[in-house]
Amino acid sequence: MYESCRDLLKRNGLTGTDVAVMIPHQANIRIINAAAARLGIPMEKVVINIQDYGNTTAGTIPLATRDAVAQGRLKKGDLALFAAVGAGYTVGASLWRWAF
């Protein structure tokens, strides 16, 4: 997860400090903590809801996004970093300028 996020940010001339909120796949809290720390993103900018829902597989990022919006943590104009990791070497990251 870290490497894909790092490469995505670098490709766009950004760093973890530019990210308003990181919304990761909620599979494993240790992976989330490690990726955020290595990216320089403070945990208060990382949406974590695994304690509420567990790993809901494909639904983790949409649920965490909904939670971020409802909590006022994701606002219009914010730069959001979405990241996912799965079985084997499956990984992906997406960078969005939130427009709603």
Read off the CATH number of the domain in which 52 is found.
3.40.47.10
* Structural domain for 18, as ranges: 2-97
pTM: 0.93
pLDDT of residue 14: 98
Residue 13: per-residue pLDDT: 98
Tell me the average pLDDT of the chain. Answer: 95
Q: How many CA atoms lie within 13 A of 18 on its CB side?
A: 14
Instruction: Specify the number of domains making up the chain.
Output: 1
pLDDT number for residue 86: 83
Closest among 35, 100, 43, 47 to 73, alpha carbons compared = 47
pLDDT category, 18, cuts 50, 70, 90? Answer: very high
Residues 6+ apart with CB under 8 A from 32: 1, 24, 26, 46, 48, 50
Q: What is the percent of the chain where pLDDT is above 90?
A: 85
Query: How far is the C-alpha of 45 from the C-alpha of 48, rounded, in Å?
Result: 9
Confidence of residue 65 (pLDDT cuts 50, 70, 90): very high
